[in-house]
Structure 1
Amino acid sequence: MTYEAFHDELNTTRMPLNNGAGAMPAVGFGTLMRDLGTTTEAVRCALQTGFRHFDCAERYRNEDKIGVAFQEVLAAGTVRREDLFVTTKLWNTNHRPERVKPAFEASLQRLQVDYIDCYLIHTPFAFQPGDEQDPRDVYGHVIYDREITLLDTWRALESLVDEGRCKSIGLSDITLDALKTIVAAARIKPSVVQIESHPYLPEWEMLEFCRLHGIILLAFAPLGHGMEPNVLEEPVMTGIARRVQKTPAQVALAWAVQRGTAFLTTSATPSHIRENFDLATLPHRAMHEIKEEITTRVRFNSVVETGVPGFIPRKA
C-alpha cells in the first residue's frame, strides 16, 4: 500500500515560543558548512526553497556570508524580516558576562539584522576567554574557564532579552540534568534547547521535559550526519520510505516534526536543500514503527561531554 499527502503543510509548521515572542518554524536550515565559500549561495537557495528558520553561530565563522544572503532578500522585498527566524549562538570563549553583549552585537552586525529571534549558549562549557576559539595548553588539552558558571552566563542572556534586541534565549548541547538546573534557577526560562537527535538518539526523556516547560527541542543531525551506523540505511526507515514514496531522509525529517520537535538540516546542494523541505505527514503506523522497532542507540557528537563540537574542524 502507498500513501499520498495532498496540500500537506508539515514544512510550514510553527512552534510557539514559551515567552510569547513569536513562533519558530519547525523546519530549519543549519549553516555549519564544510566549505565556508558555499555559505551565501546555500542560504540563498534555502530562502528560495522556502526555509525561513536559519541556525547560525559565531563559531561557524560565516555569519557575514549569511548576512549577505539575508540582506539581498530583505532589500528586494521578497522576504520580510518578521518572516525570518534567525538563531545564533554565543561561543564558549565568551561566557563571561562582560563578554556576552559584545559577542551578541558582533553577530548582529555580521548577520546584518537588527534583532535575533533566539540566542543560544553554544555549549555549557566555558573556555578560556579571548580571541582564540579553541584554546589549548601545550599538551593539546582544552583550557576551560573555571571562574564562571553557566548560570552566570545565563543571567547575561536574560539581560539581552530585557534590552529588546533578543526575542528569546536557549541552550545547546546540554544534558537533561544541566537543563533542569537552569530551568529551576532562571528568571527567563529557556525557549529552545538544541541537541543531537534522530531515530538512533530519540531523546524521549528530554523531549518530555521540554514539553512540560513549553521548551522547543531543536534537533541537529536529524539524519545522523552521514555517520555509521547510517540512520538512512536503517531497514525500518527504508521500508517506510518505499511505502510512502519518499526518501529515507524525508521520512526522518517528517518523523522529527510529527513527534513535536523542530530540526536543522544543512546542505550546499540545491537538490538536497529542496528534498529536505519537501515533507509529507507519515501515517500513524510509520510513527509507531520508528519508535518501537528501531533499537539502535548511538550519539555521533561528543560535544555534550567536552564542549568541543565533533562536527567542526579545529581550524578554519
Structure 2
Amino acid sequence: MTTSDSLRDTRIPTHESVTIPAVGFGTLIPDPLVTRQAIRAALEAGFRHLDCAERYRNEAAVGDAMQDAFKAGKLRREELFVTTKLWNTNHRPERVKPAFDASRRRLQLDEIDCYIIHTPFAFQPGDEQDPRDASGRVIYDSGVTLVETWHALERLVDEGHCKSIGLSDITLEKLREIVAVARIRPAMVQVESHPYLPEWDLLDFCREHGIVLQAFAALGHAMEPRVLEDPVITAIARRVQKTPAQVCLAWAVQRGTAFLTTSTNPARIRENFDISALPEDAMREIRDGITTNVRFNAVVETGVPGFIPRAR
C-alpha cells in the first residue's frame, strides 16, 4: 500500500497492474439530478474512485457528471477509477457482456476500471431486477453457477474495455472457491465492513492474494447500534480533533482497506474526504476496545440488498 503525506490519497495495489484509490464515493442515490450534483461535489472535494451499479438505475446520471468534469477540464479520465456491477439477473454467461456494454454506454466510458459481480446470488434472468413469485419470494436461477459467471467476467478482461474484475457481498468461503479456480483473480471484493464488522479473516485472505477489500457501510449506515456513537470512537475523535466519521474512515484506510461513503450534502462529502492518519494507540484501541459485532445488511444471505432495522 502506498500512502502520500495525505491518507486520503492512498492507493492500494492489487495482484494485477492496477492500484485502487482507497477513498471511494458510492453512487446509490435515487434521484438522477441529485446524483449528478453529488458526484460533482465529490469530484471537487477530491474523490477519484466512483462506485456504480446497474442496480442503482442511475449510471446515465453518473456518466453525465463525469463528462461535465472532463469537458470543464477539471479532471482527466485516467485520474478516475470507476467501478460498476453486474446485477443478479444477468449471471448467465451470455448475458454478462451485453450487461457490461450497456453499463459502459450509460456511463459514457470506453473502459471500466473494475467490473464486479454485485452478489453471488443468481436471480431469474430477465428485465425485472427483483423477480418474485406469487408469494413474494425471490425467484433464483439454478441454471448457472458463480464460477460460470466469473469465467464470463474473465473473458471481458481478455477482450479489452475491462481492466479488472471483482466480487461484492461475498463471504470468505465463497471467495476461496473463486480464487481456487480463477484464471484471473479478483482485484477487489466489496463487503460491509466497519468497526462493528471488521472482517479481519477476510482481510487477511485478501492481503495474501493481492485483493483489495473495499468496505461499504463504512460508517455503519446510521443503523442501531450506532458505530459513530461508540464511546471508543468518540473518545478518539475528541482526542485527535476529528469527527467520529473521520476516525472510522481513517481507521479503514490505515488497516489496509478501501472504503465507500455516500452523501448528497457537499459539506459532509468534504468531511468524509478530509481524513488524516490516526496515532497507533488509537488503532489499537479500536481493534481491542470495541467488542460489538453487528452485520447491518442481509444481502450476503439472500442477494437482496437491504439494511436490517434494529431497536436501540
- Fold similarity call, TM over 0.5: yes
- Picking from 56, 60, 73, the partner of 1:77 is 73
Are 1:207 and 2:196 matched, yes or no?
Answer: no
**Which deviations, in whole Å up to 9, do the C-alpha atoms of 1:75-107 show, x marking residues without a partner?**
222211110000000000000000000000000
* Residue of structure 2 aligned with 1:186, choices 182, 185, 189: 182
Is contact 2:30-2:56 (8 Å) kept?
no
- Paired residue secondary structure (1:183): helix
| Offset at residue 33 of structure 1 (A) | 1.3
Give the counterpart of 1:33 among 22, 29, 33. 29
Quote the Cα distance in structure 2 between the aligned partners of 1:88 and 1:264.
13
Query: Conserved in 2, the CA contact under 8 Å of 1:100 and 1:156?
Result: yes
Distance of aligned partners of 1:160 and 1:51 in 2 relative to their CA distance in 1, 3 Å threshold: same
Residue 110 of structure 1 pairs with residue 106 of structure 2: yes
1:9 corresponds in structure 2 to 6
Give me the whole-angstrom Cα distance separating, in 2, the residues matched to 1:79 and 1:302.
Answer: 37
Q: Which moved more, 1:71-80 or 1:181-190?
A: 71-80
Residues 68-77 or 181-190, more deviating:
68-77
| Aligned counterpart, 1:260 | 256
The residue type equivalent to 2:101 in the other structure is E
User: Partner amino acid for 1:131?
Assistant: D
CA distance in 2, matches of 1:74, 1:88: 19
Question: Matched residues in 2 for 1:42 and 1:301: separation?
Answer: 24
Per-residue CA deviation, residues 38-83 of structure 1 (Å, 9 max, x unaligned), is: 1000001001110010000000000000000100111222211110
Q: Which amino acid aligns with 2:90?
A: N
2:292 corresponding residue in structure 1: 296
What is residue 141 of structure 1 aligned with on the other side?
137
Question: C-alpha separation between the residues in 1 aligned to 2:32 and 2:64?
Answer: 13
Q: Match for residue 276 of structure 1? A: 272
Letter in 2 for 1:10: L
Partners of 1:34 and 1:106 lie apart in 2 by: 19
User: Conserved in 1, the CA contact under 8 Å of 2:124 and 2:141?
Assistant: yes
Would you say the 8 A contact 2:89–2:124 is kept in 1? yes
**How many Å separate the matches in 2 of 1:17 and 1:8?**
21
Q: TM-score, normalised by structure 1?
A: 0.95
TM-score by length of 2: 0.96
Contact preservation (8 Å) 2:195, 2:290:
yes
1:4 corresponds to: none
* Residue deviations 1:158-210 (CA, integer Å, cap 9, x gap): 00000110000000001000000000000000010000000000000000000
Gaps of 5+ in 2: none
Retained in 1: the 8 A contact 2:30–2:58?
no
Alpha-carbon shift at residue 36 of structure 1 (Å): 4.0
Cα deviation per residue 1:186-242 (whole Å; 9 max; x = unaligned)?
Answer: 000001000000000000000000000000000000000000000000000000000
Aligned-pair identity (%)? 70
The residue aligned with 1:97 is 93
Residues 8 and 281 in structure 1, CA contact (< 8 A), matched pair in contact too:
no
| SS in structure 2 at match of 1:93 | helix
1:127 aligns with 2:145: no
* SS state at 2:12 partner: strand
Could you tell me how far 1:35 is from its partner in structure 2?
A: 3.7
CA separation in 1, counterparts of 2:196 and 2:174? Answer: 22
Residue 262 and residue 81 in structure 1: after superposition, are their counterparts in 2 closer, same or farther (change >3 A)?
Answer: same
Counterpart secondary structure, 1:241: helix
C-alpha separation between the residues in 1 aligned to 2:254 and 2:237? 16
For 1:66, the equivalent position in structure 2 comes to: 62
Q: Match for residue 240 of structure 2?
A: 244
* 1:3 corresponds to: none
Deviations 1:94-146 (A, max 9, x none): 00000000000000000111100000000000000000000000000000000
Deviations 1:246-285 (A, max 9, x none): 0000000000000000000000000100000000100000
CA RMSD of aligned residues (A): 1.1
C-alpha contact 1:17 1:216 (8 A) present in aligned 2? yes
**Does the CA-based 8 Å contact 2:296-2:307 persist in structure 1?**
no
Partner amino acid, structure 2, of 1:37: L
Question: Match for 2:38 among 38, 42, 47?
Answer: 42
Deviation at 1:17, TM superposition (A): 2.4
Provide the C-alpha distance between the structure 1 equivalents of 2:241 and 2:181, rounded to a whole number of angstroms: 47
Whether the 8 Å CA contact 2:250–2:275 is kept in 1: the answer is: yes
> 1:246 and 1:34 mapped to 2: Cα distance?
30
